[in-house]
Amino acid sequence: MFLSPLQVVQHVPIRSGMRIGDFGSGNGQHALLLSERLQGEGSIYAFDWNSESIESLARERARKNAQNLFSLCTDLNSHLPLKDRLLHCALLSNTLHALSQRKEFLQELHRVLVDDGSVVFVDWAHSFNNMGPRAEDVLYPPDAVKLFESNGFSVGGMIPAGTHHYAFIAKKSA
């Protein structure tokens, strides 16, 4: 069973006025749900490297009048176009395995999160005969935890993520 976007965003700790980043947003299913949950009392920043996905999200944003949702096509392997300590929370769903500069991305994510900010992290547990990412790209749970911890995050326990994924919440350490 796959993890639905609705199940994923239920793990995002929402408070009024929050600024949340969705990294690797694709067509924006998670970002749109987060925007609804914030009810206009905060901002969602959606980033993806695929311009068609960002254009699709922009159309859906306009259709739903999600005025608190901002999207940008950007390479997540490079500098994140956000100021320091802007975001309260980040969503990183099915994205980290696709990045070539994982360590650098997590360092950038650490930079743009407020002190004690959190990351809801979800990724593929295996390749599943290439139904998911290529086998050589899979980031297994112990490796993901180690990568987060070596880049300034503390990792809590695993959270439910269906049979094909794993998930946890990481907090920015001081």
CATH code at 56?
Answer: 3.40.50.150
Indicate whether 146 pLDDT > 90: yes
Q: Taking residues 146-156, what's their average pLDDT?
A: 97
Average pLDDT of the chain, as a whole number: 94
Query: Which residues form the domain of 133?
Result: 5-172
Mean pLDDT of 146-153: 98
Burial class of 10 by CB neighbour count within 10 A (0 to 12, 13 to 18, 19+)? middle
> What is the model's pLDDT at position 34?
95
* Number of domain units in the chain: 1
Is the pTM here over 0.85, yes or no?
yes
How far apart, in whole angstroms, are the C-alpha atoms of residue 42 and residue 13?
A: 13
Tokens of 107: 């360092």
Q: For residues 100 and 103, what is the distance between their CA atoms, to the nearest angstrom?
A: 9
